[in-house]
Amino acid sequence: MADGDASARRDAALTGVVLGGVASAAFLVGAPVTPTALAAGAAATVVAELLLSLRSAWVRAVWGRRAVQATAVVVGLVGGVGLALLVGPWVLTALVAALLTYLLVLAASVLWRRGGRPND
């Protein structure tokens, strides 16, 4: 397995952990599913990924640390729920959309790296 594939699998798994917790919280509180919240979450991911790509080598080096990955999961879960308590449950909907968009971006980047061949 290529190192990039292992990294993508790890990133997808970590994202899935946060997504599971946030989606569960959104369901439990009946977070409103609105086009605005969905668009805000998706746009936030696209903007964040574009900005992070400007310093991709540094981002990869920092993200490679397990402590950073664990912190990101905790911040995603606790921070997302905490922000929803402060601002409103729509934040959970936006975060679900952001995480789903990230998984799509991740899948697209893997396919791009493989030259469009999904089974390599």
Q: How far apart are CA 67 and CA 50, in angstroms?
A: 24
Q: How confident is the model at residue 114 (pLDDT cuts 50, 70, 90)?
A: confident
Task: Identify whether the C-beta of residue 102 lies closer than 8 Å to the C-beta of residue 17.
Answer: no
Q: How far apart are CA 82 and CA 89, in angstroms?
A: 10
Does residue 120 register a pLDDT over 70? no
Task: Identify whether the C-beta of residue 106 lies closer than 8 Å to the C-beta of residue 11.
Answer: yes
Give the model confidence (pLDDT) of 32-91 as tens digits: 999 999 999 999 999 999 999 999 999 999 999 999 999 999 999 999 999 999 999 999
**Mean pLDDT, all residues of the chain:** 93
- Cβ-based neighbours of 108, under 8 Å, separated by 6 or more: none
End-to-end Cα, the chain, rounded Å: 9
Tell me what pLDDT residue 4 has: 75
